[in-house]
Structure formats: C-alpha cells, structure tokens
Structure 1
Amino acid sequence: MTQAHQHTTHPGLQHDHHQEHGADAEGQAEILDLDAEVLAEHTASITAWLPLKSDPRRIVDLGCGTGAGTFALLDRFPEAHITAVDTSAGHLQRLRDKAVARGVRERVLTVQADLDDAGWPDLSSPDLVWASASMHHMAHPAHALRNVHDMLAPGGLFAVVELAGFPRFLPEDAPEDRPGLEERCHAATDRFHAEHVPHRGADWGPMLTAAGFTVEGERTIAVNIEGSRSEAVGRYALGSLRRIRGTAAQALSTEDLAALDQLLDTGSPHSILRRDDLAVRTERTVWAARRT
C-alpha cells in the first residue's frame, strides 16, 4: 500500500495510503523516485545492517511505492525474489517498468492490496518483510504487525523503517526575506499529521514485542546530503515543498505563503532550483524484529 510519501511517500515524504489519481499521483510517483535516488546510499546501508542469519530468498516489501526498497533489496540479495505490495496500480506499474529496465523482472511479483483491509492477500512465508515509511499509516497497526508475524517464516526478520518527519532542505536563515519559513511550514503540517497520522514518529519497539516479535536491533541514521552531491536534491526539494504547501497553506501568513510560492516558482530568480545551499536533512530509524 502506498503511504504517500509520502515514500513515503516518504522522502522521505510520508506515503498517503489512499490511492491518488491523475497529476497528483504522477507527482507523488516522481517524489518517490527522487527519494529513492537521493537516499540510495542510506537505504543500502540499512539493508547491509540487517541482522540476518542467512541471505533471504523470499522477501515481501509492504507499501513498496515505486520500488526504492524493492530494488535496494534486490541489489543486496541477488538470489532473492520479492513480492512488492502497494495499493496504487500506477506505482506498481512504474515498479514493473523499472524491473524490466534493470533486467530483474522475473525476480519481482507485484500485488495490489490495501493492508488496512481485514483480509490480506496470500504473501506466502517470506524470510524477510520490509516496510519503509508505511507502517505509521496503518489504521490498525497492531493488527498489521500480527499479520506480518504470522506470515513470516519461523526465524524470519521484519524490518520497519520510519522517518522522523519530512526532510528539511533550506538553511535556517533562508529565505532571506522570511528566515525560518521551512520550519513554520513543517509546524503547520505537523499539526495536521498529529490529527490524521497519529502513529507517525511512534516507537515501534514495544508494538513489535506486543505482536510476538523479538526486537534484535534498533538504529537511527542521520541523513545530511549536500545539494552539490546530487542535482536531484533541488528537484526533490521542489516536489517535497509543493506537497507540503497543500497542507500548510491555510496556517501560513500571507507573507510566508508569498515567500513559499516564490521558492516554488521555477521561473522566479528566487526559485529553490536556483539555490546553491540546499541539503537533505532528516533521520531514519530502523527496527529489526525476528519471529522466534
């Protein structure tokens, strides 16, 4: 299920678990692709850290989006086959197209499903389940965790990856005429998400234990990627702030909204794409839990 990264998605962005349509769905998919590109090194480091007893052969990627985790796991485990699950048909088609382009289509099975539904599809008995920026959007996370526990093969591992929140891109003193604008945008969206996405930022350790797992590791990774390292950072910042604007606009002052719109205007001399001081700053936390 896509939790839109709103991936979620989850920039970085957190994934909204309702299916999106048209231009908004396309925009979300582009953000997920940029998230995968910009944060690829950090995702690879998480897959390398997982406390696995042997290389998994059967993997399930829950809330796969356009495939950031899927392809990181395929790269890490060249003998594995992955079942990628999402509620968005568009995202799954994009993932399949990428799999064809990468020459790994025979190693990927896609399943369209909403994991908030009472009945889950048969996902076999995987050795590893991966859920990145998706669990916090579950309406009933305790139920979802029990489902994952029951479907895992004995001794199998469940990796839950979550972000502290939306990434930051601008320096604290930017933009020059409205310093701190980005933080005020985040404050507005945080209020919205506290009401609508109450499990964002949760400590998943106790919930995993309650579902029958043994938590074998927890790690928080600080992300700080300078814009000069990737030209995609500017496009990532642009797309992310465009999505934040939709939630934050009503809570912002007229002056802040005007300054934000200048940043988002690609034809403006103040466009975020013209800045040379961007960076991606966020944190990711991963819990590794075993079915014993």
Structure 2
Amino acid sequence: MSEHSHHHGQASGHFHTHTTDAELAETLNLDALILGSYLEAATEWAAELAPDAAIIMDVGAGSGAGTVALARRFPQASITALDRSAVMLAQTLAAAQEQGMAGRVDTIEADLNNAWPASASADLMWASSSLHELADPERTMKEMFAALNPGGVLIVIEMDSLPSFLPESMPEGSAVDPGVEGRLHAALAGSGWNQYPEWTAGLERVGFAVERRHFPTLGSSTPELSARYARAFLGRMAFALEGTASSADRASLEVLLGTGPESVERRGDLVVRGHRTGWAARKL
C-alpha cells in the first residue's frame, strides 16, 4: 500500500475524503507492519537491479515505511523522501530516527502535480502507490527519467487488490452477509478508486526498459493489530462507499464497525491478505 496504500498516494493516498494525514499515517503504518513482507521482496529486487545505488528517492513517501526499508536494504546510500504533506514527511523522519537512520534521510516537500523538484536526481527511485494519484503521471515519469542518473532504476509498486480481512464463508445466522468484502471492493473499483493503468506501455514510451513482478502477501499479525487495521481500512471504505454499495452490504459493514459480537475486535477469524505488482524501469 503503498499501499498502499497502503500503501500511499502522492501525499494523501487512499480514501481522501474525511481522512486526515494523521489517520492515514496510522493506516499506512499498520499496512507496513502487517503486510510489509512485500517490502523485503521488492527492495531485494531493487538491490539486484541497482546494487551500487548511492542516492535513492522515495517518491510519495507517506509515513516512511518504504524509506526505512530502502535505508535498511542499502546501508551505504543516502535516501530522500519526497511528499507533498509536511505531516507525512515528519512521520518519515520520526520512523528513520527510531531505526537509527536519521542522518541518512533527507526530505523534500513538493507537489509533483506542479513540477519535479529542481536538481533532485538519483540512482534509484521508488514510487509505491503514488503514480496513480497524479494528474499527469506520464509527464512525471518523463521528469523522473530525466532526473535518474545513467543506468538508474525506477521501481513502481501498486496495490492490485485491496487488503481483505474476512473469511470466504460466514457461520449460519451471521449478520454479516457472505461475500460482502468482495462486493464492497467491486463497488469501490466501479467508482474509480485506486485505478491505474498497466504502467508498462507508459514507462516504455518515456524511454525505460521495463519488467514486472507480482508480490502476493499473507499478513503476519496479532489479532489486536489485525482488528485495528480492519477498523481503519473498513472505516475509510464506509465513507468512500456512501450512496454506492447496497443497503444489505452497508448493513454488514455497520456490523463489522460496530461494537457487537461480530465487530472486527471480537471476531476470531480475521486474516489479512494483500497483493501488489511491481514494475522495474531501467534507464539505459
């Protein structure tokens, strides 16, 4: 996530409406904590492609999970976190400081819908759940291509399905309808949430050589953390789905977000699952 956004968009990420940066940062931190194993695999991929990267940019850094993962994977590199949110950049610096990496992490506050920051170059760029948030992502990809050093690599990560929490079947008599989660995800997709193109063609048009990789993730978590993440994510879904989902599915969501025996905190069957796709784009 991101994301993701996550999982995080270029500054504000998932479910913009009714969501403060602080609330979003909590969701992003839970995503990284529970579904963060994709970060290990994706940064390992980045290290295979750019083993000598000394200058790295995390584009749309969010709360800093990617920044910290990159700093850990590339111990000799300097990392710049770029985001349009000062709150998110403060979160990133705090996360780096907590891991003893503060001296290696700088920040740039910039809105890429305006222009790429002057003189911001890198050997490796990382854009997790951020490109699809931009008004003109292909223009930004051209700017990223120009700002990469020769032989540099851009890693793009997108959440290709929303995090899921519920089992496929429900016990008889449950107030939560079977299959509700899939229908809610479909309703969000129908309203255009988290949509992005298959980035290969656009990346190739601006000059990159591209390869793809898939990162399925089964979350590692405690019941308490799973419940916190489910409440945060499903709560944002509830706002985003106003006037879209069926009344029965909205009722099921209210049960999950309530305080009764089938609320997310009192269920014993939550399993967090997520899927991401990565594009590695090399500047030849």
- TM-score under structure 1 normalisation? 0.88
Are the equivalent residues in 1 in contact too, given 2:68–2:95 (CA < 8 A)? no
Unaligned runs of 5+ in 2: none
Structure 1 unmatched ranges of 5 or more = none
Q: CA RMSD in A?
A: 2.2
1:54 aligns to 2:51 (yes or no): yes
Aligned to 1:139: 135
Shift of 1:201: 4.1
Task: Name the stretch that deviates more: 103-112 or 52-61.
Answer: 52-61
List aligned pairs for 1:1-292, cutoff 5 A: 7-12=2-7, 15=9, 17=11, 24-50=20-46, 51-117=48-114, 119-174=115-170, 176-177=174-175, 178-193=177-192, 200-215=195-210, 217-225=211-219, 231-265=224-258, 267-292=259-284
1:166-209 deviation line (CA, Å, top 9, x unaligned): 11111122483311111221122111226xx6xx2421111111
String of CA shifts for 1:252-292, please: whole Å, max 9, x gaps: 23332222112112x32211122222122222111111111
Structure 2 Cα separation of the partners of residues 45 and 86 of structure 1: 23
Shift in Å at residue 88 of structure 1? 1.0
> Does the 8 Å contact 1:163/1:201 carry over to 2?
no
d(CA) in 1 for partners of 2:80, 2:119:
7
Q: Deviations over 1:211-238 (max 9, x none)?
A: 11111x311121223655x642221111
- Kindly indicate whether the alpha-carbon contact (under 8 Å) linking 1:58 and 1:127 is maintained by their aligned counterparts in 2: yes
Bigger relative CO (Cα 8 Å, ≥ 6 apart) = 2
Cα deviation, residue 75, structure 1? 0.6
TM-score (norm 2): 0.90
Query: Against the structure 1 CA distance between its residues 123 and 62, is the aligned structure 2 distance closer, same or farther, given a 3 Å change threshold?
Result: farther
Distance 1:61 1:53, change over 3 A: closer
Q: For the Cα contact (< 8 Å) 2:96–2:105, is it kept in 1?
A: yes
Counterpart CA distance in 1 for 2:235 and 2:34 is: 18
Letter in 2 for 1:185: L
Equivalent position amino acid for 1:39 in 2: L
Specify the SS of the correspondent of 1:121: coil
